[in-house]
Structures are given as structure tokens and as C-alpha cells.
Amino acid sequence: MIFESPFPSFQVPDTDIHSHVFSTVGVKGSHPALIDSKSGHVTDYQTLLESITLLSTSLYTQLNFQKWDVVAIYSPNNVLYPIAVHAVIKAGGTICPVNAAFGEQELRTQLSGCGAKFLVVHPDLINKANTIKNVTLILLGESTAEYIGTNELIEKARGSKQIQVQFSSTELETNPAYLVYSSGTTGLPKGVILTHRNVISNLQQFLAYNAKTGETLVGKDVWIGVLPFSHVYGLVVGLHLSFLCGLSLVVMQRFEMRSFLDALERYEVTSAHLVPPIVVGLAKSPLVEGYRFPKLRNLVCGAAPLGSEVMELVRERLGVPTRQGFGMTETTAMCLMCPVALSMKHPKSVGFLIANMKAKIVDPVSGKELSVGQEGELVLQGPNVMKGYLNNPFATAQTIDNDGWLHTVDDKGMFYIVDRLKELIKYKGFQVPPAELEAYLLDHPAIADAAVIGIPNESSGEVPRAFVILKASMTSCTESDIISYIDKKVAPHKRLRGGVEFVKEIPKSPSGKILRRVLRERRVSFGSAKL
């Protein structure tokens, strides 16, 4: 049985991202585009577009940039971040966002995998990047004696003839605008190829959804950019949809509850795209008491499932509905969304397929198509579905038709998340691949074998826990030794916050695949998960 979107279909515009997103910027002029949550500094639309245009020109005139060069960006959220991103896109390049929490080795791995020629880096992170060779470093902001900054590049382009890059329809359809890394479960993270057409399709799907549900966006709306811009959710919604709609985006460098609440109140935020740990905080944190958000209309939660009890607590406490959506890096951002009007009646639902999408629910073993009310594997088709994985045709062939979540559908066409087929751990909206942690564990001289699973945690979603077999000659190795070892290897969200358990065997299938399900069913004593 094929399920189709209830929203009207549309023709995907045959244009590039920059032209599409900034097509009406002339009428926005002095309207605030970006607001620094800490300083209150405002960047209006005229300044934003001018800076993007000048920086895109300077890439060619100052740095020997070539069309389709890959530019990685390694920075926490910052009001200069979207200028760098859209300058590269306008110049015909490819942007590869890097998680700002990554350490030097993780950064090296991603830069090597994506083939980056340039790295735009935040000054606070330069010490993790300045030893990397074969990549031209550009500082986000001011120049130093060693490195040129984006501000200087912008100034150098003033008075120069603007570079005009042309795109063919084939390029818009096939060439990468973004390489956004999505964590795998059986190997290292993979680069998801998102084209100009993918991104524009998803933006138009957002607008088609809003038009049909009456949840229209207007220039007076204020959103908060608290989700990492290196994540596809924050990237597409924060740095594309907000500009396309002429909204004001309040940019937070990182999440901290009191600062977040201050920003919601101070800047009169009207809508917030969040992940479950933040929504849980809104439901339960005592810090919320005393704040008032009279302009806040709704919250949108994605990246991981949210319990209906939490949604009800938020509604009672703030008087604001929370609706859930579902998306993946592989679908650019969104593929399912629940309208506000139905979110309280169907709190566990992630809603309907967005415009121009089709889906099938299939038996994960036989591949047989299933019907309404049956659990199975979701198979998606639509113009927002990725082009594939970078330099990984095998993974592409495995994933495009068989995308790893289990769902069920009710007789109204609404989808519900039941569980994930893949073993990806979701910690505060971040993706943590067990295989990556297992690879590091197996490199430890005292460890003979290891497995990692996610264990439930109310405030974080899931936290990673390791099961370890020590070598016979290394039994003095302790849990703290292993946790400390992993802490030095990975970003904070990948740490073994669920602890380490020493076992005598790792359950495996005849083919050698780790049986994580068996580890979960044993209901071992996990102790206190570290936040």
C-alpha cells in the first residue's frame, strides 16, 4: 500500500538555493535578519545580503576558489555563520558543516572524507585546526597575523565586480550543495549529499504545509536559533527557511537553560524548533517559573520521539502546544509533520507526509508491503530525499530504498514512531554511532571485545553504555580508565555517560553481528547515568 501526502503537490523551482532563499530580500531591507542573543546586535537583511555577496566575490578574487570546491565550517552557532554558508553557496561551492564539539581527530577524519579545500573556523577552535595540512584556513570574523578572516575578505571585495555564477539544471539536480554528515550504525559517519534541488524542495514543502494548515509565517515572527547549525535541522530551518520567510532569527551560540529562557522572553520569540531535552526542561525545570512568553505560539520538536506526558506538561505550564515532526539528514530535514490543531488529540503522532512525498510500510524481513495499523519499515520517495552518500555507493544502495525507522500508520494517514531498526543512539538530539565507539574501545590495549548500546535517560533521550571483555592479562583496567580513554577520543555527546559494564561474553549472531537486543533484554543494572 502506497501512502501519499494530503498536501497539494507543487513544481520544484528550477533555480539555485541563493536565488530562491533571497528572492524577496529587497523588500525586507532594514528588517532584522539575525539577532545575537547575548549582545543584542542586529544584522538586517540588507547587510546580510551585502555581506554574502561581497564574501562570495572575495572567495574567487582572493583565495583561488573554484566552482564546487568543498568548504568545511567548524564553528558554534554565530551570527557570522550564515554569511559564510550562503557566500559559499552563492559562489557555487559545497558546504560541509562540522560539529563544533568535535576534537582534532574527528575534524581530520571529516575533512579528509569530504575533500575540503577550505576550512572556515571559529577563533575559539583554531588550536584544534591549525595543525591540519592541505586545507586553507579562514577565520570566522577578524583576521590575525597568521590567518585571514571573513570580515577582511568582505572589505577587500568592496568596489570589485561581483562574481555571477550560473548553474545548469543538471548541476542543481546532481551536484552537492551540502555534505552533511549523518552517523552510521555499522561504520563511520557518512557524508549525505544534499543538492540545491533537495534543499529547495524541502523549503517549499514547509511552505506548502504551512499554507494548508493555516500556520502561516510572517515577517514579524521571531524564531530562536538554538539548534546547532551543523545539524541539518538547524541548518535548513534556521539558515534557510527563516530567511526565505523574512523572519528574525535570534542566534544562541550554545544551549543553556537560563540564557535560553532569557532570550525567549527578551526577544519575544513566537516559535521555537527544539529537541526533546529542551522541551523536557521547559516542562520540568524550576527555572521556567517567573518567565512569561506572551508572543510564543507553538513549539516544534524533532530529532527524537517526545513523550505525550511531557507535551501536556508544557501546554499546562506555558499555554503553548508542542507538535512533533520527523525527518532525517537523508530527507534534507523534514518528511512528516503534525499540525498544531491535531497535536493534542494525537500527541504521539509525527503527523502526515509533507507535499510531494510518498511512503510505503514494508515488512523488514520479507519486503512485503503492509497496510494501515501494521508496524514495519518506512520507505520514502520525494524530491527532498538525498542524492546518496559521499563516495559510498554500497551504503547508498542499501539506504535509499530502506530507511531505518519502524513506524505504524493509523486510518487517518497519521504516522507514529514505534522504534528504530538501526542502532543509532540519540543523545540530546545528537547522533551517536555505536560502531564508532566500539572501534575506539577495541583499540584500547586492555580490551578484547566490546559492544555499545543506548540506554534510556529522561533528560537526554539516550546515553551510551559499553559492555567490555577485558584481556586475561589486563584485569586491573577499571571503568574510570575506559571512560577517561573515550573522553579523550570523542566529542562530549559521544561520551560513555551510561557507564561501562564488564562481561564475559558479547552476544553475537552466527555471522558475528552484535545482538544489541539481547543486551537490552538482560535488563542489567546500569547504575546512574552521568549527565
Convert the pLDDT of each residue in 55-89 to its tens digit: 999 999 999 999 999 999 999 999 999 999 999 99
Q: Residue 64: what are its φ and ψ, rounded to 5°?
A: 60, 35
Cell 525527518 -> residue = 327
pLDDT digits (tens, 9 = 90+) for 476-500: 999 999 999 999 999 999 999 999 9
Do domains 1-15+196-422 and 425-521 share one topology? The answer is no
Which three-class secondary structure state does DSSP give residue 488? coil
Instruction: Kindly list the domain boundaries of the chain, sorted by start residue.
Output: 1-15+196-422, 17-166, 425-521
Q: 346 near 414, Cβ under 8 Å?
A: yes
**pLDDT-based confidence at 419, cuts 50/70/90?**
very low
The β-bridge partners of 463 are: 455
Going through 125-226 in order, the beta strands assigned E by DSSP cover 136-139, 176-182, 190-195, 222-225
In this predicted structure, the answer to whether residue 336 has a pLDDT above a threshold of 70 is yes
In this predicted structure, the answer to whether residue 26 has a pLDDT above a threshold of 80 is no
Task: Please give the torsion angle defined by the CA atoms of residues 173, 178, 181 and 186, in that order, rounded to the nearest 10 degrees.
Answer: 10
Query: For the stretch 210-247, what's the b/e string if a residue is b when 16 or more beta carbons lie within 10 angstroms of its beta carbon?
Result: bebbebebeeebbbbbbbbbbbbbbbbbbbbbbbbbbb
pLDDT digits (tens, 9 = 90+) for 178-235: 999 975 434 457 899 999 999 999 999 999 998 888 777 777 899 999 999 999 999 9
Mean pLDDT of 109-116: 96
DSSP H/E element including 457: strand 447-457
Distances (CA, A) of 47 to 30, 58, 121, 505: 8, 16, 22, 61
Cell 590495549 -> residue = 445
Per-residue cell: 464? 551510551
How high is the pLDDT of residue 528? 40
How high is the pLDDT of residue 57? 98
Q: 84 near 91, Cβ under 8 Å?
A: no
Hey, what long-range contacts does 334-343 have (CB within 8 A, 24 or more apart)? 334/202, 334/205, 334/206, 334/236, 334/302, 334/384, 335/380, 335/382, 335/384, 336/415, 337/209, 338/414, 339/213, 339/215, 340/213, 340/215, 340/298, 341/213, 342/414, 343/311
Q: Write the class of the CATH domain 1-15+196-422.
A: alpha beta
How high is the pLDDT of residue 513? 61
The residues near 458 (Cβ < 8 Å, ≥ 6 apart) are 280
In this predicted structure, the answer to whether residue 511 has a pLDDT above a threshold of 50 is no
Which of 40-49, 311-320, 521-530 is least confident? Answer: 521-530
According to DSSP, the β-strands at 271-274 and 118-121 are: unpaired
Mean pLDDT of 296-309: 81
**What homologous superfamily does CATH list for 425-521?**
ANL, C-terminal domain (3.30.300.30)
How high is the pLDDT of residue 420? 55
Terminal-residue alpha carbon distance, the chain: 43
How high is the pLDDT of residue 412? 58
Which three-class secondary structure state does DSSP give residue 321? coil
Mean pLDDT of 440-465: 90
**What homologous superfamily does CATH list for 17-166?**
ANL, N-terminal domain (3.40.50.12780)
Cell 552521568 -> residue = 530
How high is the pLDDT of residue 341? 78
Report the chain's mean pLDDT, rounded to a whole number: 88
pTM across the whole model? 0.82
